[in-house]
């Protein structure tokens, strides 16, 4: 189990280490932009299905 040992021996200090954070989460605006993009795509998908159902009488 030596691969799970922290380098400093203190888990809480390693948990807050910025080097362990992926690049995607290092800048908060990237996460919010991604969430907004997912919402936009889901809304467009829903609206496309809604319109297709209205005009094809599904």
For the chain, the maximum distance between any two Cα atoms, rounded to a whole number of angstroms, is 65
Q: What is the pLDDT of residue 1?
A: 43
CA proximity to 37, closest of 22, 24, 56, 52: 24
CB 48 within 8 A of CB 40: no
Give me the residue spans of the domains in the chain.
27-58
Is 0.85 topped by the overall pTM?
no
pLDDT tens figures, 34-51: 999 999 999 999 999 999
CB-based contact 52:45 (threshold 8 Å): no
């Amino acid at each position: 189990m030596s691969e799970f040992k922290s380098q400093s021996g203190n888990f809480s200090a390693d948990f807050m280490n910025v080097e362990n954070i992926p690049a995607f989460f290092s800048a908060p605006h990237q996460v919010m932009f991604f969430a907004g993009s997912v919402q936009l795509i889901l809304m467009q998908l829903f609206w496309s299905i809604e319109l297709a159902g209205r005009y094809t009488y599904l």
